[in-house]
């Protein structure tokens, strides 16, 4: 299973762009990178998923360099409501015995201040 490493915590201010980097040095060829967001007292919710280069949706962007050994979740102009824990998962999306995309790790606790 590809192991991921993220910062334990990050602080930001409202209106700033926040970039959270996840390291996954032993990512496999077929692995995808998925990010989830978890608010206090709630279950996680899917944010974005990608394989290489850049993926963008209405919530965030995901940047993946050519070697795919890391990825960066970018949150544009954060607000107080973006305060949450963000998890990076690496694994094969479709079930085939690999549980990589089901391993959440400890995540990054983002605190957005006014």
Partner 1 sequence: NAGVTQTPKFRVLKTGQSMTLLCAQDMNHEYMYWYRQDPGMGLRLIHYSVGEGTTAKGEVPDGYNVSRLKKQNFLLGLESAAPSQTSVYFCASSYSLDLGETQYFGPGTRLLVL
Q: Which residues bind partner 1 (CB under 8 A)?
A: 32, 36, 41-46, 49, 85, 87, 92-95, 99, 101-107
**Nearest distance from residue 33's CB to partner 1, in Å?**
11
Measured from the CB atom, the residue of 94 and 114 that comes closer to partner 1 is: 94
Length of the chain: 114
**Nearest distance from residue 79's CB to partner 1, in Å?**
22
Measured from the CB atom, the residue of 7 and 105 that comes closer to partner 1 is: 105
Quote the DSSP letter at residue 102.
Answer: G
SS3 track for 3-65: CCECCCEEEEECCCCEEEEEECCCCCCCCEEEEEEECCCCCCEEEEEECCEEEECCCCEEEEC
**Nearest distance from residue 50's CB to partner 1, in Å?**
10
């Amino acid at each position: 299973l590809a192991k991921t490493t993220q910062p334990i915590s990050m602080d930001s201010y409202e209106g700033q762009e926040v970039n959270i980097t996840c390291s996954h040095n032993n990512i496999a060829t077929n692995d995808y990178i998925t990010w989830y967001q978890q608010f206090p007292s709630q279950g996680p919710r899917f944010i974005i998923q990608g394989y290489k280069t850049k993926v963008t949706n209405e919530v965030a962007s995901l940047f993946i360099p050519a070697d795919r050994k890391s990825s960066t979740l970018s949150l544009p102009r954060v607000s107080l409501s973006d305060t949450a824990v963000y998890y990076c998962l690496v694994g094969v999306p479709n079930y085939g015995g690999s549980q990589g995309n089901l391993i959440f790790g400890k995540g990054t606790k983002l605190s957005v201040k006014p």
